[in-house]
Each structure stands twice: as structure tokens, then as C-alpha cells.
């Protein structure tokens, strides 16, 4: 199986600077903030819980035209970004990201910039084996069951360029799990709308950097 490609959605990375009307603000208070609190508690980030709207930098709610529900994004003042989905009476976090760069293009940049990026990996406390153990911990904490997925694929993030053009590695690891009913031939074809979980962890502080439950149903893997 080819290495899964982590696709970062632009709206997840940088939600539009929008504050809504009364309906949108009610959704923010009643759904988005509580869901973010629960998510952060699950992954052990209890010191980062948003306690009110004063910790929300921006948010956007897009209600569906053809059915009850919406998609929404919220960025906190600490640059934690959440993506939400509501369908009728069900709501959940569909994606999370800390705005940490996990790839650098260092072609034709000053040497000092290259040395600074190289130095990041000196802080790395993980290898692929220990990073996988950490990612599996987050998978479980976020309500997934490993037996519902194929064996995961893991890759270390990297930077490209440099004086010799060979680049180097970064202290971040991407892990992907495809659900067991996925046709692996579709993975090899590069089809992206397949049920999967994507996780990125930091080798610097063992934190969760990125999470996405792509094309999975509410409240479970199946």
C-alpha cells in the first residue's frame, strides 16, 4: 500500500475571519466551544481549554441549504484550529490542527534559515516506532478502535532544498489508518474520499498536531 498523502484543507488551516449573527454565535457557544473542550480533554490538553468567546480568534459557520446542519471552523487565540460538522441533531469535531509547519521548502533561502530548520530535529525525542505508539494512543483517546483499520502507515515529515538539494527530516510524524472495508486498490489509485483517520504527532513535545476523521460516520468508525 502506498504511503497515504495527508491533505490539509485550506479552511482548516486558515478559517476566514468571520463573526456571524445571532444564530451563528449561538452555535459557537452551544456546540463549537463545548466540542472543542471535550476534544482537548480527550487528548490531555486541559491547560488549553477555551472557556468562552474571548478565546476565539475567529470562526465561520456555513449552514446547509438542502438539509438541517452545517459545517464550521473555529480558530482559538492560541492558534488551535477546529473543523466541525453538524447533521440534524448530531455534531462533532471532524478535524483539528495546531498551526505548526511540518514541511519547509528551503530552495534558494539564506543559510541561516536552513540551519534553523535543521536545528528543529535536534529536539526530536521520538523515532518511527515510538511515534507510532503515541499516535495509537491519540487514536484510542479520540474514540477509534484500531481493529477497525488496516495496519497504519507512518512517515516522518521533511524539508526540501538546502545546499546539496537533498533536504532533511523534521521532528514530526504523519500516521494514517484506512478503514478495513476500503479497497486497497483505490488507495493505490490515489482516490482521496476513503474512510480514514489521519494523525500528526510532534517529536518535540509528544503533542497532537493534526487530526482528521475523513469520511467516517458520527460516533464511531462504521
Digit-coded pLDDT (tens) for 36-81: 999 999 999 988 888 889 999 999 999 999 999 999 999 999 999 9
3-state secondary structure (DSSP) of residue 59: strand
Phi-psi region of 69 (alpha: psi -120 to 50; beta: other; left: phi over 0): left
Q: From residue 89, give the alpha-carbon distance in Å to each of 24, 47, 68, 86.
A: 16, 29, 8, 7
Q: Which of 208, 176, 218 is nearest to 82 (CA)?
A: 208
Q: Are 153 and 176 in contact (CB under 8 A)?
A: yes
Digit-coded pLDDT (tens) for 122-172: 999 999 999 999 999 999 999 999 999 999 999 999 999 988 889 999 999
Q: Which of 27, 116, 136, 118 is nearest to 74 (CA)?
A: 27
pLDDT for 20 equals 66
* Percentage, residues of the chain above pLDDT 90: 84
Q: Which of 135, 174, 129 is nearest to 155 (CA)?
A: 174
**How do strand 90-98 and strand 80-87 relate by DSSP bridges?**
antiparallel
- Summary mean pLDDT of the chain: 91
* Percentage, residues of the chain above pLDDT 70: 91
Q: What share of the chain is helix, strand, coil (3-state, %, to 5)?
A: 30, 30, 40
Q: Are 48 and 33 in contact (CB under 8 A)?
A: no
18 confidence band (pLDDT: 50, 70, 90): low
Question: What is the pTM (predicted TM-score) of this model?
Answer: 0.89
21 confidence band (pLDDT: 50, 70, 90): confident
CA atoms within 13 A on the CB side of 113: 13
Amino acid at each position: 500500500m502506498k504511503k497515504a498523502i495527508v491533505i490539509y484543507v485550506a479552511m482548516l488551516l486558515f478559517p476566514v475571519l468571520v463573526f456571524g449573527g445571532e444564530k451563528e454565535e449561538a452555535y459557537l457557544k452551544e456546540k463549537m466551544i463545548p466540542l472543542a473542550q471535550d476534544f482537548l480533554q480527550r487528548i490531555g490538553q486541559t491547560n488549553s481549554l477555551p472557556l468562552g468567546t474571548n478565546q476565539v480568534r475567529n470562526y465561520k459557520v456555513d449552514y446547509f441549504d438542502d438539509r438541517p446542519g452545517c459545517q464550521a471552523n473555529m480558530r482559538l487565540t492560541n492558534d488551535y484550529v477546529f473543523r466541525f460538522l453538524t447533521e440534524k441533531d448530531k455534531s462533532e469535531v471532524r478535524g483539528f490542527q495546531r498551526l505548526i509547519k511540518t514541511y519547509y521548502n528551503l530552495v534558494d533561502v539564506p543559510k541561516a534559515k536552513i540551519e534553523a530548520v535543521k536545528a528543529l530535529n535536534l529536539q526530536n525525542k521520538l523515532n518511527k516506532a515510538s511515534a507510532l505508539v503515541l499516535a495509537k494512543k491519540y487514536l484510542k483517546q479520540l474514540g477509534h478502535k484500531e481493529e477497525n483499520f488496516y495496519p497504519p502507515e507512518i512517515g516522518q515529515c521533511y524539508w526540501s532544498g538546502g545546499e546539496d538539494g537533498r533536504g532533511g527530516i523534521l521532528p514530526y510524524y504523519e500516521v494514517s489508518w484506512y478503514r478495513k472495508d476500503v479497497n486497497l486498490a483505490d488507495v493505490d489509485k490515489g482516490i482521496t474520499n476513503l474512510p480514514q483517520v489521519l494523525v500528526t504527532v510532534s517529536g518535540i513535545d509528544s503533542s497532537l498536531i493534526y487530526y482528521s476523521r475523513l469520511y467516517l460516520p458520527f460516533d464511531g468508525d462504521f
